[in-house]
Amino acid sequence: MFAPSPVSFGSEPNTQISSVDLGYPGALPTVNRAGVKHALRACHALNMTIDPLLRFDRKNYFYPDLAKGFQITQQYHPIGSNGTLTATLVDGTTKTFDIERLHIEEDTAKQNHIGDTTYLDYNRSGIGLIEVVSRPVMRSADDAVAYVDKLREIVLYLGVSDAKMNEGSLRCDVNISLRPYGTEEFGNKVEIKNLNSLNNVKKSIEFEIKRQTELLLKGEVVDQETRRFDEATQETILMRKKSSAVDYRYFRDPNIHPIQLDAN
C-alpha cells in the first residue's frame, strides 16, 4: 500500500519485499493510488460517507511481524464512515447491518510456527488492507455468516479483492459478548482472530456463545480476552487476556501529507 513491492501469494519467503516493508532507515512511504480507488469503490458500495481529505496515522507497537515498529493506518480519519450492508439470512429474510467505519492500512508479516521455532515471511508485510468495522447489531452466528458472505460477494464483484479466505485475502475477526435479557449494556468482549472460512466463523461463534453462557450461568465472569479457533478441537483457544487497553500512541504519519480527493 505504501511501497512498490509486488502483491502475490505462494512466492518463496522474503522475496517480494522492499526497504519500506523492512523499515530501513531513510525509506519513505508513497501512497498507492489504486489502493485508494479500491477503498473508495468499497465505500460507495457500502453506502458510506466519504472523507474527502485522505490522512494516515501511525499505530506504534513492537512485534516481530512489524519491522518498522509501527503500522500505517487511519485511526482518526477513516476514508469511509456510517455505512450499511443488506444481506439475506438463512430463513430467506433480509437484514440491514450498520457499519461504523472503513479504513485503509497495511498488513504485517506472516508468522509460521514450526515446532518451537517461529519463521517470519515479510512478503505479506505492507500489502494494502481495507478494514470494515460493523456496529454491534448481529445477534447470531447466522447473522455474522450472512454479513461476511455478502461483503465477500461485494468486494469480489467490484474487483477490490479476490476474496480468497483460504489465502488470507479476506479475513474475519469476530467480537462476542453476552448480556441478560432486557439489559442494554453489553458484557465483556471476547475477540476471535483471523477466521479464514465462513464455516469457521459460524462454528467459532456458536462455541463461544456456549462457553460464555455456561460461565455466566455458574455466576462466573467472562474475561476480556483474545482467542483463536482450533479446527482440530472445534474450540476457541486463549491467546492473551486484555486486562487493560493497549496504548498504541497513535499520531499523524509525518511522512504522508494529507491528500485532497477529487469530488468526481
> Which residue type is seen at 20?
V
CA–CA distance, 135 with 90 (Å, rounded to integer): 21
Residue 124 is predicted with a pLDDT of 92
79 is written with which cell numbers? 476514508
C-beta neighbour count of 228 within 10 angstroms: 16
Identify whether the C-beta of residue 75 lies closer than 8 Å to the C-beta of residue 250.
Answer: yes
> Given a cut of 80, is residue 246 above it in pLDDT?
no
- What pTM does this model have? 0.91
Cell output for 223? 474475561
Residue that is written with C-alpha cell 487511519 in the block: 74
Task: Say if residue 101's pLDDT is above 90.
Answer: yes
Mean pLDDT across the stretch 11-20?
93
Confidence (pLDDT) at 243: 64
Q: What is the pLDDT of residues 28-39, one digit of tens each?
A: 999 999 999 999
Say what the pLDDT of residue 24 is. Answer: 93
Residue 94 CB partners (closer than 8 Å, separation 6+):
86, 87, 88
| % of the chain at pLDDT higher than 70 | 98
- The single-letter DSSP state of residue 74 is -
What is the average pLDDT across 237-263?
A: 87
d(CA 254, CA 257): 7
Q: What is the mean pLDDT of residues 167-176?
A: 93
> What per-residue confidence (pLDDT) applies to 88?
96
Instruction: Tell me what pLDDT residue 216 has.
Output: 93
